Chains A and B, each alone.
Chain A
Amino acid sequence: MPAHAETEPAELLLRVRDLRTWFLTDSGPVRAVDGVSFDLHAGETLGIVGESGSGKSVCAKSIMRLLDEPARIVGGSVEFRGRDLATLDDEALRAVRGREIAMVFQDPMTSLNPVLRIAKQLVEAMTAHGRFTPAAARTRAISLLRRMGVGRAEAAVDSYPHQFSGGMRQRVMLAMGFSNEPALLIADEPTTALDVTIQAQILELLRELNRDLGTAVILISHDLGVIANVCSRILVMYAGEVVEEGPPEQLLSDPRHPYTWALLHAAPRIDAEAADRRLTTIDGQPPDPRAWPAGCRFRARCPFAVAKCAEHPALLPIDEGRASRCWVTQEGGTLHTPARAPATAAPAQAPQPAAPLLEVRDLTKHFALPKQGYFSAPRVLRAVDGVSLSVARGETVGLVGESGCGKSTLARLVLRLHEPTSGTVAFDGTDITHAPQSAIRPLRRRMQMIFQDPYGSLNPRMSVGEILSGPLLLHGIVADGAAARARVAELLDIVGLPGAAAARFPHEFSGGQRQRISIARALALGPDLVVADEPVSALDVNIQAQIINLMVELQERLGLTYLFISHDLAVIRHVCDRIVVLYLGRVMEQGRAADLFSRPLHPYTRTLIAAAPVPDPRIERTRRHVPMQGEPPNAANPPSGCRFRTRCPAAQDICAAEEPKLRPGVEGQMVACHFPGVL
Chain B
Amino acid sequence: MSGVAVPVAVPRPRPAAVRWLRRYGLAALGGAIILAWVLAAALAPWILSYGPNTVDVANRLKPPSAMHWLGTDALGRDVLARVVYGARISLSVGMAVVLVGGLFGTLLGAVAAYARGWAEEALMRVTDLVFCFPPIILAMAIAAALGIGTVNTVIAMLVVWWPKFARLARSLVLTQRSLEYVEAAQSVGFGPAHILVRQIIPNAVGPLIVLVTLDLGQAILVFAGLSFLGLGVVPPTAEWGAMVSEGRELVQQWWVATFPGLAILSVVMGFNFVGDGIRDWLDPHARTR
Q: Which residues of A contact B (CB under 8 A)?
A: 18, 20, 22, 24-29, 35, 37, 70, 74-75, 292, 294-295, 312, 314-315, 412, 415, 417, 437, 440-441, 444-445, 447-449, 451-453, 456-462, 470-471, 474-475, 518, 521, 525
Contact = CB atoms under 8 A, between A and B. Distances in A.
Given A457-B180, A457-B181, A459-B203, A315 B189 contact: no
7 contacts: A440-B189, A444-B187, A448-B187, A457-B183, A457-B184, A461-B202, A470-B188
B9 interface: yes
Contact of B1 (A35, A452, A459, A474): A35
A669 B261 CA distance: 83
A415 B187 contact: yes
A449 B13 contact: no
Contacts of A315: 1
A24 B13 contact: yes
Contact of B190 (A75, A474, A525): A474
A295 B190 CA distance: 51
B134 interface: no
Given A315-B1, A457-B181, A459-B181, A74 B10 contact: yes
Nearest to B7: A75
Given A456-B181, A459-B203, A444 B8 contact: no
A451 B182 CA distance: 11
Given A448-B188, A459-B181, A461-B199, 11 more contacts: A24-B13, A26-B19, A292-B3, A294-B3, A315-B1, A417-B183, A452-B180, A457-B181, A457-B184, A459-B203, A474-B190
Contacts of A459: 181, 185, 199, 203
Given A314-B2, A417-B187, A25 B203 contact: no
Interface string B150-184: 00000000000000000000000000000111011
A74 B180 CA distance: 40
Contacts of B10: 22, 24, 29, 74
Contacts of A460: 203
Given A24-B13, A461-B203, A474-B190, A74 B8 contact: yes
Given A18-B1, A74-B10, A461-B202, A417 B186 contact: yes
Interface in B1-58: 1-3, 6, 8-11, 13-14, 19
Contacts of B1: 18, 35, 37, 314-315
Given A459-B199, A471-B189, A20 B184 contact: no
Contacts of A27: 13
Contact of B13 (A26, A75, A525): A26
A312 B13 contact: no
Q: Which 9 A-B pairs have the closest CB atoms?
A: A444-B189, A457-B180, A312-B3, A74-B8, A451-B180, A456-B179, A471-B188, A461-B202, A456-B180
Contacts of A29: 10
B9 A74 contact: yes
Contacts of B6: 18, 20, 74-75
B183 A25 contact: no
A312 B188 CA distance: 49
Nearest to B16: A26
B11 A24 contact: yes
B189 A462 contact: no
Contacts of A525: 188
Interface string B232-253: 0000000000000000000000
B19 to A, nearest CB: 6
Interface string B188-220: 111100000001001100000000000000000
A525 B184 CA distance: 13
B288 interface: yes
State which size class the interface on B falls in: 20 to 34
A25 B288 contact: yes
Contact of B184 (A24, A437, A521): A521
A294 to B, nearest CB: 6
Given A74-B6, A441-B189, A444-B188, A412 B11 contact: no
Nearest to B190: A474
Interface in B246-289: 288
A75 B6 CA distance: 8
Interface in B127-143: none
Contacts of A453: 179-180
A474 B13 contact: no
A265 B185 CA distance: 36
Residue of B8, B14, B199 most packed against chain A (CB within 10 A): B8
Of B10, B179, B184, B191, most buried by chain A (CB within 10 Å of CB) is: B184
A388 B57 CA distance: 93
B184 A451 contact: yes
A72 to B, nearest CB: 8
- Identify the interface centre among A27, A456, A459, A471: most chain B CB within 10 Å of its CB: A459
A470 B187 contact: no
Contacts of A449: 183-184, 187
B199 A462 contact: yes
B8 A458 contact: no
A330 to B, nearest CB: 15
A28 B5 CA distance: 14
Contacts of B187: 415, 417, 444, 447-449
A22 B5 CA distance: 12
B137 to A, nearest CB: 33
A312 B183 contact: no
Given A22-B10, A26-B19, A37-B1, A458 B181 contact: yes
Given A28-B13, A412-B183, A461-B202, A474 B3 contact: no
A510 B190 CA distance: 26
A315 B3 CA distance: 12
A289 to B, nearest CB: 14
A459 B180 CA distance: 9
A521 B188 CA distance: 9
A620 to B, nearest CB: 34
A454 to B, nearest CB: 9
A445 B187 CA distance: 9
Contacts of A292: 3
Nearest to B178: A456
A76 to B, nearest CB: 8
B258 to A, nearest CB: 43
Contacts of B179: 453, 456-457
A625 B131 CA distance: 61
